[in-house]
């Protein structure tokens, strides 16, 4: 409106136009600013929701991976009677799922009350 007063001629006519449309223009501009602010707020909320969804999806993928490993572990345990094969598979699966560098399994000797190393595994990509 100030711009209209500065560049329009004759000044009296420009002033009359500003008086007539000033209040409606201020109202319309205020509504426009409010709508723009709501759009920005909604975009921020949508981005936050997207980040949460991606995080939950990654967590779900991790849980599916762990469940698949547990299933394979169960199949292996039930398919062999060789305890050493079962223990090796258990420790290798555990190291893989936990993304550990190394893992070992100790068993107790009931006669001597001591622990002995039954098996161990190391992650090739972590060392």
pLDDT value of residue 13? 85
Query: Cα–Cα distances in Å, from 67 out to 34, 56, 71, 102?
Result: 49, 16, 6, 21
CB 119 within 8 A of CB 107: no
Claim: this prediction has a pTM higher than 0.75: no
Of 9, 5, 42, 37, give the one whose Cα is nearest residue 21.
5
Q: Over the chain (127 residues), what is each successive 10-residue block's mean pLDDT?
A: 78 85 90 96 97 97 94 88 90 91 93 92 76
Count the alpha carbons within 13 Å of 77 in the hemisphere toward its beta carbon.
10
pLDDT value of residue 126? 57
Query: Cα–Cα distances in Å, from 37 out to 27, 55, 127?
Result: 15, 27, 52
């Amino acid at each position: 409106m100030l711009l209209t007063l500065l560049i329009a001629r004759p000044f009296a006519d420009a002033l009359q136009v500003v008086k007539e449309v000033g209040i409606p223009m201020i109202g319309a501009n205020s509504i426009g600013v409010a709508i723009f602010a709501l759009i920005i707020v909604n975009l921020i909320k949508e981005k936050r929701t997207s980040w949460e969804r991606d995080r939950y999806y990654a967590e779900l993928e991790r849980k599916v991976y762990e469940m698949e490993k547990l299933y394979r572990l169960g199949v292996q345990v039930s398919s062999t009677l060789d305890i050493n094969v079962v223990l090796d598979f258990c420790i290798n699966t555990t190291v893989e799922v936990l993304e550990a560098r190394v893992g070992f399994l100790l068993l107790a000797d009931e006669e001597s009350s001591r622990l002995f190393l039954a098996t161990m595994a190391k992650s090739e990509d972590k060392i």
